[in-house]
Structure 1
């Protein structure tokens, strides 16, 4: 990034990397984070200016990151001054839990930080979890208490995925297949011991295939994983679940698990 910036600006090039005075090359972790925060604030300010005084909708979801910290993504949907509908990720906030009260508090804090008035909210788009869509104590209900025009709409992606799953279950063969797939994953992954046995069997299979030159090797190839569960509201999760079983089919049918 510094090389890219230096290539576009002679003044920057004169004070970074090899040309940095007093060895101030600005590549330490703390400086890198500070630079990223500066970039983030610049982008957020541009988004805020783009919104202006327009009414907007909230799109919110939360998930755990690699460090197992719960993170809430806050997206605003609005119509700009040229009449185009825009969606902008305005913030990612760490939340201590996913209760509706905590999420509402963090959303209000984030909106206030960006000088956005919650009274200008005209829509809410969340998933179908009880803490989000609850009629009395859900996040959408708490927001409506402060802004009665902020109508809640269940995430269309989730609705479509649920509709596809429900339609697929009406096909007997498809339903039976995924039921069997779910049973296999539950038997193997519900036990730490069986999961370790699966990994061991798969590692043995990979070693044999490598020794007999039946698969290619390389950095990042042939990673030892486990079977993946499918979720009714997660896009591509059924496909990924099938792929994981195909990849580890030999280890799964090795006789240790009865399949």
Structure 2
């Protein structure tokens, strides 16, 4: 087919990609149901799975941005982030931002607060983020943190000297958001989370997939996210507090009672400020990330994909493994082989591993 049908959300429709056939030799596509199948599994396996029964048609990418936005405070953060970038990134203001950033760097170098060297302290611009691309959000957050002082200066100038009330009002609103503890806390938190998950998201977006590498990245990403949840709260809070002190941002009393409009109207139990940031935001966001990762890459699915790479003929069966193939049969296709066939398979694969290299067309 020249083009495959679109499906999914109207705002972000997805479709099957023809180049996947080159990446996955086992793949088969059914135009009748607009779904992908594992051809060998469909023909020979008696075990039901999306690749053998109804077909797989969830073309969405890993939805970590949407998962993070399940936490209301994070959703509000991304709205503020977008607004700040839009206010600052007009053509004229962008020039002012670069100038302010250059001035800030010169001051930091002069006072020995940062080191100089080749490639260091290059003058960049504030990155706009896309709606769904995780890396674009990560780039926006990193550039905003890097240029925070310069952005503050530009917004302060615009809030005071803007040519219209609209410019002054927009800049004032953006500045209040930028200099709030809420914004700074989530800014640092999302940088840590996105820094861990960015490599996986980029790997999954590549046209030519290295399944084994991607699955190892899934495992390491889950582990690092869990470590962040379990043992990094103190370090994060210390980093945020230090940043706030450097930029004259008020830090709330973590032991005080937390209250906002929603909590007070619903008469929820009284919690501390620290509980709000640690449990309601930090832990909740990470739990949504883990939930998304686990729903897309369960331990069973990850193991299946890793073991299946042993059948990949790429690079002269570089990943061929007798042990992995036997485990694949044992763990996922046990009903398709008799006990005697399982015993014989081990020896047959050992013969194959030695004999195949002697074939004339190998």
TM-score clears 0.5: no
In the superposition, the TM-score normalised over structure 2's length comes to: 0.30
Q: Looking at secondary structure, tell me which structure has more strand per residue.
A: 1
Q: Whose relative contact order is higher, 1 or 2, with alpha carbons under 8 Å and at least 6 apart? A: 2
In the superposition, the TM-score normalised over structure 1's length comes to: 0.41
- Structure number, greater radius of gyration: 2
Q: Looking at secondary structure, tell me which structure has more helix per residue.
A: 2
